[in-house]
Every structure is written in C-alpha cells, then in structure tokens.
Structure 1
Amino acid sequence: MQDLLDNRFDSEEAAAVHRIGAVSRLAGVPVTTLRTWEQRYSAFAPAKTSGRHRLYRDADVIKARLLRQLAESGQGIGGIAHLPIQHLQQLLGTAQEPTAAALAPARRVAAVIVGAATAARFNAPGWRDHDLDGALHVRQVFVDLEEAAAGNDTARGGGEGETGILLVRLNTVHSRTYGQLMAAIERQRVQRVIVLYNYGPPALVEALRNAGLMVRREPVPDAELAELIRSVVLLDAAAAFPAAAGALIPRRRYSEASLAQVAASPSNVVCECPRHIAEIIGQLVSFEEYSEQCLNDTTEDARLHAYLRSVAGSARVLFEHALQRAARHGGIALAEDAAGP
C-alpha cells in the first residue's frame, strides 16, 4: 500500500495545484524556510506556470510536513531533504529520543515591544500563519524607547525556559537611538534585540549591528519576521550549550574607517603587515555578522553558527591586539573608535 502511495505522489502526472503560501499553511512551515529547503537542498521540484509561479503537489505538502517534524526532532535538513516520503516516514517513526532541537520550540518568547503598530501586527489574522506554535507572548508594549527605558519591572523578559526579546520599530535611526536602546535593554533585561527601521544613516545602523543587535530595514514580511524570531530563539537555546556558546567575546575595537586608514597609512617598516592585518580583521568582522544574522532551521544550525561566531570573534580579538602592536611598531596612529555610534 505504501509503495502505491509513493508511486502516486512521485508520479509526474500528479496534479501540481498548490501555491507556496498554501504549502506553508498546510505543512506549518514558513515560506522562507520552504524556499531555503528548495534552493539549498533541492527538497522540492515544483512545476511553474506561464507566469513563473511555482505550483506544488500534494506530495510536496506531505514531504514539507515530514521534514518539519524531523527537523524539530533533531534531524539535519541537508541529510534528509532528498529522501522520498516513505523513507522520511520511516525516519520519523524511529526518531524516539529527544534532542536539543526538540527543546527549542518549547521555549516561550517573552517579547517587549516598542511601537503600538508592531504590537497590533501580532494580533492580526495574517500573523496566525507564522505564530511559532503559539510560543510568542507579548509581555509589554511601550510607545517609544524613552518609555521602555523607564518601564515597570514586571515586564522584564527572559525567565527560565524563555527567550526575552526587545522588538523595536523605528521610523528613523538617529544619534540618540543607541543610548536609548542600551537603556531599554538594561531596564528590560532581554537577551536579544531586533530593530526594524525605515530610514537611518548607514554609520548609525552599522553601529547598532556592531553592538550585537539584529537590524532589518522595513518592509519586513510576517513570514520573514517570524523566521527571524525563530532563529533568535534557536540561537538562544544553543547558547545553553557551553561548546557552542563559548566565552563572551569583546566588542570590536576599530571601525571600518579606522581599518581603512591603517591600510592606507605609510609605515616605518618595509612590509605591509599592518594593511594585511586590517584586511583580515575586516573579513573576520564580516563573518561574525554573517554568523549572527544567519537564519537557523534547527538548534544544531544555531549551535554551529554560535560556535563559528565565537571562533571568528576570538580570532578578531587576537588580530586587533596584533594590529595595535604592528601599528605601534610602524609608527601608525590607531584610534579605538568602534565602542559606540
């Protein structure tokens, strides 16, 4: 019977009738995740209409649901995305032992929100399709950052089994934003911060990212926001594992402008070591940011990204010390100017 079902699902004649949004709703998988599974792991091969819209079969819906269940039980998508439905069902039947990945969806998200419009967004009917299995709990809503920095103590997020996030919606990132955010983070005691903004000077936006905040420019669709929150939760869950979390890495000491100035400065030594070190630091900073911003399909993904960020940050700190020594030896002025905006 199972073979007959698989033959039916795998048949080229099976009707492709579902748009990706329908697959997302039926399988309980965000659209962005479905696209990642398709593009990165070739999990699906949808048909395309004359207008280039993807159409999926019933088998794709079943497979997407199975992949989600297996990912939540700790299976890595990369190793199972190519398997047929029958094999996925067998894997799901033998996935008996709980893993670290299975713990992640159980974590509650205690959200402190700045901006009434953003809070209303989570009550809209469309958000229910991306509701992280009901784990998102809005603990407090503030009108602006100033109110959040002075807010009451009962709203402080991130208790046992919770990820406390501060979700901030800003029309404009201005020179006071950094200080206000730091005050709000300290007051609310959250582990993670997501900033959505419309406008802002690149230097100020970069300063927020350097401070460890996750920054996205609007418009951010609900599916992407849900995936971002889920990624943050998985990363926080991974931080519970010492091998993944690593030691606290100091913030970067030198801005892009300082590194560029070092690279262009004449040196008392013949070699170009200061320039090479500055370039390496820039590459490590970029990789740190990539590892922090990268979305995670499972807790194992989050653990790997946390580990990679820790390794890159540790290497960056060593090279910053090396740059200081090389600059001093070469008579190059070097200012530490990346501590804030």
Structure 2
Amino acid sequence: MGNTIEPAHPASEDSHITYRSGVAARLAGLSPETLRVWERRYNLTQVERSARGQRLYSAEQVRRLSLLKQLVDQGHAIGVLAPMSMDQLQELAGAAARQPKPQGPLRLGVIGANLARRIAGSGRDGLDLVVQQHWPALDQVALAPPDGDIEVLVIELSELHDSAMPLIVAAAQACGGAAVVVLYRFCASATIRALRAHGCLAARVPADIGELLLLCRSALAGERLPPVQAPSAPPELRFDEHALFTIMASGSGLKCECPRHLADLLLMVGSFERYSAQCASRNDEDAQLHNELGRAAGQARAILEVAMERLARTEGLPLPAGIAKGDAGKKTR
C-alpha cells in the first residue's frame, strides 16, 4: 500500500493530487532512503501530511526532486542545490545542457604545497588535469601573476580561516574568468558561506584526484552560486607535511598500505591541531575548549609520530632531516 498514489481529498483543501514519499522518490528517480536523508539534512520541501502523518508530495515538488536528482548526477553538491529556487535549478540545468563537452584536459592553476605533486603522481587519474601554473602559497600569487590560460584555480588550505579571504579573492581576480575551487580539511561554516558568496566552490580535500576532477568540472558548470586564546606549547613537530607526503610517495616492502594510512592520519591530526590553535573563539569558555582540543590533538600526533618513526626505520622509508641528523650525531659520539 506504501507505493500507491494517494489523492489528497479532505473536504476543504484538496484540489490537487499528492504522492506518498515512496512514490515521490520513485517518480523522481531516487531511492526512499536518499529522499529521507535529503529531507532530514536539507529540509528540501514543505510537504503536507496525511491524517496518519505520512508525507505527501505535490506534482510540482516531485518535479523539483527529479531536477535535483538530475543535477546531482551531473556532479553538483546537494548541499549547494537545496536552498535554490525552482527557477535557479532550471537555469543551472539549462546551463549544464548548453555546456560543451570537455575538450582535452582541464588547465589548472594550483595553490598549495602538495596538491601539484599529488596530481603529477596520480597516474591515469591525473590525465584529465594539467597544472598550468603552481604557487606554493597564497601570498606568492601576487609575486608571480598567472601567465597561462587557466580554466580552474584550485586553492588548498588545510585550515581555512576568514583571514585568508582577501588573498583568495585577490588570487581569483588575478586569474580572470577562471572558476575557483577552494579545498580545506577544517573550516568554519561562516567562512564557507563567504566563499560561496564570492563565487567559489568550497569542499573538503578530496581523497583522490578523480574526485578533484569532478569538483573542477562542477565549478566550470556553474556551481559557484551563493545560496583566542593561544594554546599551550604543543609537542615538537617531527614529521611536517612535506616529510609525510614523501613517505606516502615512497615504496615499501609491506604488502599493506600502512605507511600511507599512518601518514594520512598524521596529516589529519596535525591539521586539526593547527585549526584548533587558530580557531576564532566566541568567549573565554570557547577559547579554553579549543585550547584543550589542540593539546589533545598534539598529544595524539606525538604518539603517532613515534609509531611513524619506528615504521620508517623498519621499512627503510625516508626520515625527515631533523631525525636523520640526530641519528648522525649519535653515531659520532
């Protein structure tokens, strides 16, 4: 009975046909589970309810769900689409339909110390991406302005704060009409909203280069619409991001991928540690909380670094210069 059309005909207010959620999902091409998740997270539609409390969707609401499904299948994020009006969704769908098929690899401008290396080392996954120009840091764009035809500017900042906004806007302006993708590991919601207001697509750092390609194509398709107290001294950093990416790129005699997984954990914990230390605090209590979070992350990082050093020594993986120099000093004594 759950998959039947239910005409809504209470005496005073029912001159239109409505559909139960299971039928609405099927008509829109969604699974009922996906529809429930979308409704719970994004409150997509103001639906009616039957006398027994079942959600009832109008034909117009089903058309909206179908359009959302179509755009999500094209690579757009449901979180960006959800607040948009029907007119905006139809305009975006029309723009995507008029968008010419991709011709050759995307030409990128990349800001970030490690992203260009990831793309270069990604093999087949990176064939559709070409790094036209690379800047290790945001403030270096002004020193070496873009000199190529960049289609997408990709900015990677592990901990993204409001203080980076002026530099991001300046970099985007320097790249002219390029679409802008900003990647982060930790970022406040207000900063993400500000990025979207400036026409940027903001997303977490993708796990693989294939996901990055989808993000870049989404940005080109038009998905750029808007809709403290200092912590105590953390344990000394022994493996910086460069050292961890070097280990991830090195071969290992292990059949498993423990070095890469452990390096990835250290990147995430280290990023959260720095984010907690820099996070804007609303009040003294909030500042104390971030201080405690930063200390806890620092302690976790220190434990994982000990494990990483042992793994690196056992497998003959490259050690950071500071640790290797310490070994040399011990041998001379």
Give the structure-1-normalised TM-score.
0.35
**TM-score normalised to the size of structure 2?**
0.36
Q: Which has the higher contact order (CA 8 A, sep 6+)?
A: 1
Structure having the larger proportion of residues in helix: 1
